[in-house]
Structure 1
């Protein structure tokens, strides 16, 4: 279990590092949160902690972005907000990514929940009344 209250943008790096360290053997992370909760912003911090120098942006229209790490690995960032049915995820070849051993960071996983692997880490971002973000995760 992981839980972190994030009060500033600068604190996201620390929270991302703690998340990665809390689940050292996991590679598939599903990010849940309302529109505007900060999923993409937190994923940017996670990607930078994982060692990518790439510009991390939401793959809203492309559905998937690949980022290279300094060590030569890949990070796959998915955004399933715009898919209409599971067939689109099949067409994308989701299995090749989810079972590749590379990090897979998924926004809007509720759209493809039946396809998520059993070893997925569920990351929930809740916006607090004061604007802070409570980030929690479980495996």
Structure 2
């Protein structure tokens, strides 16, 4: 079982500070995001991308599967695997190459790849408490 590094309840207006706190607690550039639809995974990723120094427009890659954002020291790849039917589909677009890079990798809906994702990585579980309240667990 993975150790919890951060267990936090917050309001959405605090998301920038939460993103900065998450980054301080990361020892890996690979982060998997779990949570129900509408729990704020993409919103949190937008804040993380900004905190890492990117000025790129962040949007959900639901249909493109992966979005790329530039930062001064490399790239961030943001995956949304919600529409992926099976592992073969992600291997067809070469996801293993992304994991072998030195880039930041943020993956929404990673369940289909759990057995493939190489260590080390972190996971963030988001839960909705209210219209603007969330709880996250960083492991």
> After TM superposition, is the score higher than 0.5?
yes
Residue 87 of structure 1 aligns with which residue? 88
Distance in 2 between residues matched to 1:32 and 1:62, nearest whole Å = 19
CA RMSD of aligned residues (A): 1.2
2:22 — aligned with what?
19
Q: CA–CA distance in 2 between the matches of 1:51 and 1:105? A: 15
Residue 94 of structure 1, CA deviation: 1.0
Give the CA deviation at 1:113. 1.2
C-alpha deviation, 1:22, in angstroms: 0.4
- What is the CA distance between 1:129 and its match in structure 2? 4.6
Count of paired positions: 135
Structure 2 alignment gaps of length 5 or more: none
| SS in structure 2 of the partner of residue 115 of structure 1 | coil
Could you tell me which residue of structure 2 aligns to residue 32 of structure 1?
A: 34
What is the aligned counterpart of 1:4 among 1, 8, 14? 8
Secondary structure at the residue paired with 1:114? coil
What TM-score do you get using the length of structure 2 for normalisation? 0.92
Q: Residues 35-59 of structure 1, C-alpha deviation per residue, up to 9 Å, x if partnerless?
A: 0000000000000001110000000
Query: How far apart are the structure 1 equivalents of 2:15 and 2:130?
Result: 18
- Give the whole-Å Cα distance in 2 for the aligned partners of 1:82 and 1:131: 26
5+ residue gaps, structure 1: none
Deviations 1:54-94 (A, max 9, x none): 0000000110000001x151000000000111001111211
Runs of 4+ in 1 over 6 A off after TM superposition: none
Q: Which residue of 2 aligns with 1:49?
A: 51
